[in-house]
Structures are given as structure tokens and as C-alpha cells.
């Protein structure tokens, strides 16, 4: 049985046990899709990233415990962290990841990472019946890109959301989720992110959700550089910049574990 290295990294935080945990697995060739999904399920964190490093470009794929995803921000930051801090990858130029969402770049900025993602602006949408009573508070605005985005009145409402999972699990959003957001008190905006029918129901810090949050709040706040916080139990902080049709997310990462496994 081949032995593979494994790293676990907390992304979008500089404090251990905060942010969003991701496992990172370097490969020399792709494993079967079902094997990668089973490894992700065994790891039990929101995302496991698998990559093959070709020096000039890095192939990257992301798996939740349930499915392969088309875009994941925090596991991309975690992969960059592993390449730079553990595997000695050069930081003289951006790391380029080839993914299902096209080429993604990560630039190392001191102790932080700047992730370049595609902007995913949302458009007005009709509120599904399952969402109307699922959160306790009624949103004042409903939009959708890949994910539904529900806009609420206050940070306090976001912090105190108690979603009814039985109602939300009636929605088939594969592979999307539900962003809940409001204007922040000490940051520009706050959010939480839920994935009905998934093993992990609430994602701690969701980079891909900020591809939709950033253009929305940039237009509303009339500014292109903003601070954001995801109000999950673990919590996480991001600096978000809208640059034409791209979203730049700046955050930190910290290693929790380094090990090996056999498959």
C-alpha cells in the first residue's frame, strides 16, 4: 500500500483551532475519484485538497466528505501554505493552480496569502418556501449566484441564526449552499454559510462565498477594499478586494498537523 503525506492547516486565521481546517495531500499522479472522496470523508474536515506540483503550474482538486467541488478558497490557501512553509516552493512569483474554475493564483505577502478568485455576482432571486421560515429571521433581500445569498438587517441577526436543518435539507443545492450576510459592526460585512444535505452543515470560513459577497458589498458600500468576518463557532477573518471581474482574498494560515497515511 502506498504511503502519502498529509497536512492539516487552519486557513483564514493566524490562531490555531480557528479559521477553516483543510487537509492537503501532495500526489505524483491522480488517485481514483472515489478514493479521493473516501480520503476526504475519513479526514472529516470541510475540504481536502489534492495537488500535483509541476513547478510552473500546480494541478489542484478539492473534495468535501461528500463530493468534489468546483471551487474552494480556504483549501487553496492551505495548499499554498503547505507548498511554501513545508515543501520549500519559491515565493518569487505567484503560485498558479490549475482547477475546475480555471487558473487560480496565490501570492505570498509576508506571513499572509492573497488568493485571486473569479467574481461571482449574484442576481435577485425568489425565496424558496423552504427558506422562508428556516432561519427564524426573514431576510430583507434574496439573491443567487452559485449559492443563495440572504441579506439580513444586522450582525446580531447573523450571529443568532438558528437554522432549521430539517427544512433546509429539503433543498437540493448541490454543489451550492446558502450565504447569510449583513453589514458588520467592526468590519465591513459579516456572514455565515450553510450547506444543506451535506455532512458538514455549517462551513467555518468560506472563501468561495466571498466571490459573491465581495461584489455585492462593494456596490452597496461604494468601496472596493473591505474587511470581513465569518461568524461561525471557529470564526475567521478576510480582507476582500474587488478588482474588475476578480476577487482578491487576503488571509493567514497555520499548520495543525503533519503526518502520513496509507491507502
Catalytic (active-site) positions: 47
Find out whether the peptide bond into 55 is cis, omega within 30 degrees of 0: no
10 Å CB burial of residue 239 (0-12, 13-18, 19+) is middle
Which residues share a beta bridge with 22? 9, 47
**3-state DSSP assignment of residue 230:** strand
- Return d(Cα 203, Cα 193) in angstroms, integer: 6
- Return d(Cα 223, Cα 242) in angstroms, integer: 9
- Return d(Cα 188, Cα 200) in angstroms, integer: 27
Amino acid at each position: 500500500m502506498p504511503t502519502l503525506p498529509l497536512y492539516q492547516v487552519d486557513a483564514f486565521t493566524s490562531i490555531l483551532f480557528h479559521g477553516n481546517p483543510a487537509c492537503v495531500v501532495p500526489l505524483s499522479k491522480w488517485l481514483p475519484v472515489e478514493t479521493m472522496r473516501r480520503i476526504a470523508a475519513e479526514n472529516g474536515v470541510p475540504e481536502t485538497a489534492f495537488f500535483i506540483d509541476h513547478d510552473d503550474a500546480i494541478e489542484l482538486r478539492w473534495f468535501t466528505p461528500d463530493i468534489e467541488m468546483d471551487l474552494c478558497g480556504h483549501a487553496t490557501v492551505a495548499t499554498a501554505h503547505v507548498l511554501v512553509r513545508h515543501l520549500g516552493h519559491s515565493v518569487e512569483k505567484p503560485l498558479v493552480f490549475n482547477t475546475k474554475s480555471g487558473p487560480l493564483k496565490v501570492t505570498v505577502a509576508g506571513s499572509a496569502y492573497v488568493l485571486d478568485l473569479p467574481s461571482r455576482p449574484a442576481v435577485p432571486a425568489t425565496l424558496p418556501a423552504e427558506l422562508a421560515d428556516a432561519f427564524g429571521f426573514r431576510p430583507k433581500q434574496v439573491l443567487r449566484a452559485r449559492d443563495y445569498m440572504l441579506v439580513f438587517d444586522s450582525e446580531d441577526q447573523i450571529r443568532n441564526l438558528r437554522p432549521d436543518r430539517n427544512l433546509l435539507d429539503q433543498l437540493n443545492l448541490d454543489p451550492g449552499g446558502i450565504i447569510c450576510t449583513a453589514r458588520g459592526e467592526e468590519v465591513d460585512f459579516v456572514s455565515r454559510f450553510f450547506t444543506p444535505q451535506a455532512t458538514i452543515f455549517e462551513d467555518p470560513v468560506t472563501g468561495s462565498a466571498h466571490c459573491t459577497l465581495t461584489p455585492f458589498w462593494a456596490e452597496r458600500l461604494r468601496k472596493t477594499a473591505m474587511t470581513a468576518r465569518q461568524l461561525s463557532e471557529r470564526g475567521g477573518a478576510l480582507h476582500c478586494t474587488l478588482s474588475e471581474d476578480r476577487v482578491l482574498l487576503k488571509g493567514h494560515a497555520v499548520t495543525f498537523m503533519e503526518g502520513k497515511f496509507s491507502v
